[in-house]
Amino acid sequence: MSRRSKIALIVALTTTFGQVLIFFIAAMITGNWKLLVWSSSFGVLVGIPVLLIVMRQIRLKKS
C-alpha cells in the first residue's frame, strides 16, 4: 500500500469514527443524546462512502 493510500485510509477512519466518539463524549457530558444521534448520523452518512471509495482505490492499485 502506498503512502498516500495509507494517509487517505487513516483520514477516512479518523473522520468517520472520531467524529462519532467526539459527539458521544459531548452527549455524555451534556446529557443531550439527541446531539449524538443527529450529529453522528451525518458523519457516518458521509464517512462510510468515503471509506468505501478509499478501500476501492487501494484494491485497484494492488491489481
User: For residue 30, what pLDDT is reported?
Assistant: 92
The helix/strand/coil state of 1 is coil
Query: Residue 22 corresponds to which cell in the numbers above?
Result: 467526539
Q: What is the pLDDT of residue 28?
A: 93
* DSSP 8-state secondary structure symbol assigned to residue 2: -
pTM listed for this prediction? 0.69
- pLDDT of amino acid 44: 83
Model pLDDT, residue 31: 92
Residue 19 sits at the vertex; the CA angle it makes with 13 and 24, to the nearest 5 degrees, is 130
Q: Which pLDDT tens digit goes with each residue over 13-63?
A: 898 888 889 989 999 999 999 888 888 888 888 888 999 999 999 898 887
Contact 15, 44 (CB under 8 A): no
Q: Give 63's Cβ-side CA count (13 Å radius).
A: 6
Whole-number pLDDT of residue 37 = 86
